[in-house]
Amino acid sequence: VQLQASGGGLVQPGGSLRLSCVVSGLTLDDYAIGWFRQAPGKEREGVSCDSSADDSTYYRDSVKGRFTVTRDSAKNTVYLQMNSLEIADTAVYYCAADRPRSTTTYTGNYYCEVGQLLYDYWGQGTQVTVSS
């Protein structure tokens, strides 16, 4: 199983980037996907996380209305569209995948806020730098 995150780069404040997470060795539709980020000197935090209880996706408050997650199951790829980027968005971004167990499901909020250890697989990260 492999998760390959890409699409990071240097962008000015207010700009946009689209990150991709290509998954191989698993069926994307069977997994809940989360996006996380880690800024220098800070702990890794959840950005956007699928719920395994329903079809909803959680976004942390600071990215709501600016970031959007979409999936292309045919390409086994998840995208994180990031608009109106801010300097505070600078971080290494990671995607992660969890295969929900039939007896236990979690909300996207839970995954993002306290559930990092639930994820079975992690990608290697892609650097996003927002700077003028």
Per-residue model confidence (pLDDT) at position 47: 98
Going residue by residue through the chain, which has 132 residues, state the pLDDT in tens, using 9 for 90 and above: 999 999 999 999 999 999 999 999 999 989 999 999 999 999 999 999 999 988 899 999 999 999 999 999 999 999 999 999 999 999 999 999 999 877 888 999 999 999 999 999 999 999 999 999
Phi, psi of 126 (to 5 degrees): -135, 135
With CA atoms as reference, report the closest residue to 81 among 72, 92, 70, 91: 70
Per-residue model confidence (pLDDT) at position 104: 84
DSSP secondary structure of 25-87: SS-GGGSEEEEEEE-TTS--EEEEEE-SSSS-EEE-GGGTTTEEEEEEGGGTEEEEEE-S--G
Per-residue model confidence (pLDDT) at position 103: 81
User: How many helices and strands, by DSSP H and E, does the chain display?
Assistant: 1, 11
